[in-house]
Amino acid sequence: MSARIDRLEAATLAGGVLVMLGAALPWLTLYAGLQRYGGLIGAHGRLLFAGGALAVVAGLATRGRRPRWLRPATLLFGLVLLGFDLWLLEGLAETLRHGVSAMLVPRPGPGLFVAALGTALVILGPGLELIRDHRKAPAASRGPTGG
């Protein structure tokens, strides 16, 4: 267990950064892209940004000594973050269908989609580590005789 960052921890770190970037990018554009509304103007965007920052902290905390509870907790947190992002995407779709005048030419911005990609990476890092550890565990429990 070294202090360097391996690929799976890097996925969690990169995912958290993408979630934070997605919260800052525009979620909705009006007038064919002339007026942009980013996520950080509202409470949901700030909450999504804080979730990304927490994922970065969790990714950094997995370096070196790894508590047993940290990877499953990060995986669960990533799933909650993904659910929140999907809920926001559904709200954006509903707003575009019904809540904005056609004269404003509303379009979705890239922010929530970038955040969704980031949450997938946050889930991927600890998820693959748990699968890898689960596959190693039966081989270690068989012992040297193989049975």
Show me where the domains of the chain are located. Answer: 7-142
pLDDT in tens, the chain (147 residues): 445 557 778 888 999 999 999 999 999 988 877 889 999 999 999 999 999 999 999 888 777 666 778 888 888 999 999 999 999 999 999 988 886 676 778 889 999 999 999 999 999 988 887 787 777 776 555 556 554
Place of tokens 């799976």: 8
Q: CB count, 10 Å around CB of 21? A: 17
Q: pLDDT tens across 102-133, in order?
A: 677 888 999 999 999 999 999 998 888 778 77
pLDDT on residue 100? 67
Gap between the terminal Cα atoms of the chain: 29
Place of tokens 């070196």: 64
Full-model pTM: 0.82
